[in-house]
Structure 1
Amino acid sequence: MLAEIRGLNEECGVFAVAGHAGASEICYYGLHSLQHRGQEGAGIVISDGKRLQYHKGLGLVHDVFTREQLESLKGTLGVAHVRYATAGGGGLQNVQPLVFQSHHGGLAIAHNGNLVNAERLKEQLEDEGAIFQSTSDTEVLAHLIRRSRSRTLAEKMANALPLLKGAYSFAVMDEHQLVVARDPHGLRPLSLGRLGDAWVVASETCALDTVGAVFERDIEPGELLVIDESGCHSQRFISKAMRAICSMEYVYFARPDSDLEEINVHAARKRLGKRLAEEFPIEADVAIGVPDSSISAAIGYAEQSGIPYEVGLIKNRYIARTFIQPSQALRERGVKMKLSAVRGVVAGQRVVMIDDSIVRGTTCRHIVQLLRDAGAKEVHVRISAPPIKHPCFYGIDTSTSGELIASSLSVAEICDVIGADSLEFLSLEGLQAGIGRDASMPQCGQCLACYSGHYPTAIYPSTVLPYEKQ
């Protein structure tokens, strides 16, 4: 994917295992398969039944962990995390899982998503004497758990979670058990699998496949799952709400080999490409996709239109990740370092280039120029999703409309900015039909807020702690 140079990034990936003697190694391979969800930092926490041991650091998974470090993390229970910073910013203190110690024992928390009322809750907790170790919104849950007077970890979480507003998939662990939960709308994915007698939880099913686990089911929105020596136990911590899984998971974030709530991501992207060809046909000689996330849509576009699919752009997989570059100028130069046009494919041809999104427009402009420099006679851009006009508050780093070119410019104006011969975006109806989440499915809801501006939750709720109402 080109998330790191396009300015569109998912916050993180969560992985956990319970009941496996090689928990640290299972977590390591699980994180590798979720690396696309976060490249800033990684961490693994393991319990041997008596204490929590952990290692985490900045960088990619293979840079953070050595064989010796993994072998030192001995135990059968583990929680792991890869992170891209949105809420709270960067720094080692925000790399997850966050680990806490008290006279009650240890606690480790991994979180995918973003809490829209975190700052309000932080202020209240600090007024009551809480001291935060990080600037991450995730730490709010630890303080709410600690303040609960309930007896078990599951009961404490069941009391705390309804106070949180926004997107969250949590994996929380103490020395003896794993507790996982998903927000009432199911904005972020979370799946459950079996690996022999062990249980595995992951943000995407591709991670289950990597470690050899068999998919059991998706964690339900509003569900709290407790996994301990006695087995796996499910309960609800809140009544059902409108289901609204993030549509960008299907369009861009998830790996093509993952299944999200019974829908294969690659198949969904192909359908988006086919629908795009139906809505906006064009006379062209070759159809190409921007690697990696747009390849599936480009194949679908080619199949539907009859235009031959070709590999017109090559991704250099060994160049340094451009998201760490400190300036926009270097980010833009990183496009040429990361992508190359195949002159033998595009020279003298009318090219239709399929991409999944235009955020700021800078990267798309540079890719169009790459194709022209390689001799393309015409470059027509087709986007397999509607224009992103509204910021996301649920874990994607587009927090203001000013970052989004489609919030202020028309399609024709964006076309001029990127220098294409034509530009079209898939319709909202086409997106919903292409993903395949129709009303006949019990889990049909999607979050379309970045396209429509209609959010499934209040964005700035004034949630108060229970004792303030007394």
Structure 2
Amino acid sequence: MCGILGVVATSPVNQLLYDGLQVLQHRGQDAAGIATSEGGRFHMHKGSGLVRDVFRTRNMRNLTGNWGIGHVRYPTAGSAYNAAEAQPFYVNSPFGLLLAHNGNLTNADELKREMYLSDLRHINTSSDSEVLLNVLAHELQAASKGLKLDEDAIFTAVAGVHRRCRGAYAVVAMIAGYGLLAFRDPYGIRPLVIGRNDTAAGSEWLVASESVALDVLGFRLLRDVAPGEAVLVDIEGRFHSRQCAAKTVHAPCMFEFVYLARPDSIIDGVSVYESRMKMGEFLADKMKRTMPKVHIDVVIPIPDSSRP
């Protein structure tokens, strides 16, 4: 489980990303990272620890640019103590690509071997997110055929990622000189939402793991990214979306509603708070039916997210 965030704005995004990651801190406390883009150049800072500990004023000053991505890490693959596995991950070919990922690839070892033997790419960490980054990079290179990148090539590359990768992945990425890309696996296992903020200078876009980040940052929730869908905001601020999976089945992780998500979030159109209340009501009704003669003195919330 991790938290991801991507912003395209009309002014510097470093503070938006910092504040957004603070709101998503419950999704990962082991590492945090922010990357921004300005004039085709990436700026990045990441490290182990909480958001407030990783980023200082000097770091924030260096994160210039009007678009960027952020990540908070809860390690479920790779090493929990290796600062090199903090995200976003970067690869310089093709075009320059940064990626942050929430989820787990179930075929990461197979893909790593495939990357080395067929795609001639080296994976330097045990993180499945670095594997995913290199799969996307290879598919972008294949789809663009060495020519100028366009939206059709980007969506074709995401379709290639869907064909090769298995498991859960919600992704935000930046492609140097082109824009912000976000996509969700064909099963929609991990959440991803889209928000918009219209200003006098133009429209601003935000994608995040949970809608609560949009609320805090002043963005209007538009919708969820659909399973298998990719959304792209180019450097001109134009929004594009396309279904990139041959087949989709909506199968979200129930643990989001039970434990992971904040209660004030809305995931796939469902209030997390209301879903937890209904689960509690269902359990109470079941207890009354199956154990009618048992007198219950106390109810203990385990985990604490079951507390109303």
- 1:289–1:23 CA distance, 2 compared to 1 (3 A): same
Aligned to 1:389: none
Paired residue for 1:105, among 71, 80, 95?
A: 95
For the Cα contact (< 8 Å) 2:28–2:73, is it kept in 1? yes
Is the contact made by 2:91 and 2:134 (CA closer than 8 Å) also made in structure 1? no
Residues 8 and 237 in structure 2, CA contact (< 8 A), matched pair in contact too: no
- Cα distance in structure 2, aligned partners of 1:133 and 1:279: 50
Corresponding residue to 2:250 among 239, 243, 251:
243
Q: Tell me what 2:291 maps to.
A: none
Which residue of 206, 214, 224 corresponds with 1:200? 206
Matched with 2:187 is 185
Retained in 1: the 8 A contact 2:33–2:44?
yes
Deviations 1:210-236 (A, max 9, x none): 111110000000101111125111111
- The yes-or-no answer on 1:263 pairing with 2:270 is yes
- Distance (whole Å) between structure 2 residues aligned to residue 211 and residue 62 of structure 1: 17
Identity of aligned residues (%): 40
Q: Is 1:88–2:78 an aligned residue pair?
A: yes
Q: Distance in 1 between matches of 2:280 and 2:138?
A: 50
1:105 deviates by: 3.4
- TM-score normalised by length of structure 2: 0.88
What is the alpha-carbon distance in structure 1 between the residues aligned to residue 74 and residue 299 of structure 2? 32
Shift of 1:140: 2.0
Distance 2:209 2:13 in 1: 17
Give the distance between the partners of 1:27 and 1:277, measured in 2 at CA: 41
- Match for 1:273: what amino acid? G
Detail structure 1 runs of 4+ shifted over 6 Å in the superposition: none
Q: Distance in 2 between matches of 1:154 and 1:70?
A: 32
Cα contact 1:52–1:174 (8 A) shared by 2: no
Aligned to 2:173: 172
- Change beyond 3 A, Cα 1:255–1:272: same
1:12-51 C-alpha deviation (Å, 9 max, x unpaired): 1111101241311111111111111111100000001321
Aligned residues of 1:162 and 1:237 also touching (Cα < 8 A): no
Deviation for aligned residue 1:181: 0.6
Equivalence map 1:373-452=2 (5 Å): none
Aligned counterpart, 1:273 = 280
Largest Rg, 1 or 2: 1
Match for residue 35 of structure 2?
Answer: 45
- Say yes or no: does 1:72 pair with 2:65: no
Could you give the per-residue CA deviations for residues 275-321 of structure 1, whole angstroms, max 9, x where no partner exists? 1111113524454535741212xxxxxxxxxxxxxxxxxxxxxxxxx
Match of 1:143? 134
Contact 2:172 2:180 in 1 (8 A): yes
Structure 2 partner of 1:118: 108
Structure 1: gaps spanning 5 or more residues: 1-10, 297-470
Q: 1:124 to 1:219 in 2, by over 3 A?
A: same
- Distance in 2 (alpha carbons) for counterparts of 1:64 and 1:143: 26
Contact 1:47 1:174 in 2 (8 A): no
Q: Deviations over 1:192-213 (max 9, x none)?
A: 0012321000001111111111
State the secondary structure of the residue aligned to 1:131. Answer: coil
Tell me how far apart the structure 1 counterparts of residues 79 and 300 of structure 2 sit (CA, whole Å).
35
Root-mean-square deviation (CA, aligned residues, Å) is 1.6
In 2, distance between residues paired with 1:80 and 1:131? 24
The yes-or-no answer on 1:295 pairing with 2:295 is no
Q: Do structure 1's residue 36 and structure 2's residue 26 form an aligned pair?
A: yes
Instruction: Please report the TM-score for the alignment, with normalisation by the length of structure 1.
Output: 0.58
Query: Using the alignment, how far apart are the partners of 2:167 and 2:280 within structure 1?
Result: 30
**Alpha carbons 1:93, 1:133 under 8 Å: kept:** no
AA partner of residue 79 (structure 1): I
1:395-437 deviation per Cα after TM superposition (whole angstroms, max 9, x unaligned)? xxxxxxxxxxxxxxxxxxxxxxxxxxxxxxxxxxxxxxxxxxx
SS of the residue corresponding to residue 97 of structure 2 reads strand
Q: 1:103-130 CA deviation, whole Å, 9 max, x = no partner?
A: x432110111001111101112112332
2:215 is matched with which residue: 209, 212, 216?
Answer: 209
Q: Which amino acid aligns with 2:190?
A: R
Q: Which structure 2 residue ranges, 5 or more long, are not aligned? A: 289-293
**What's 1:3 paired with?**
none
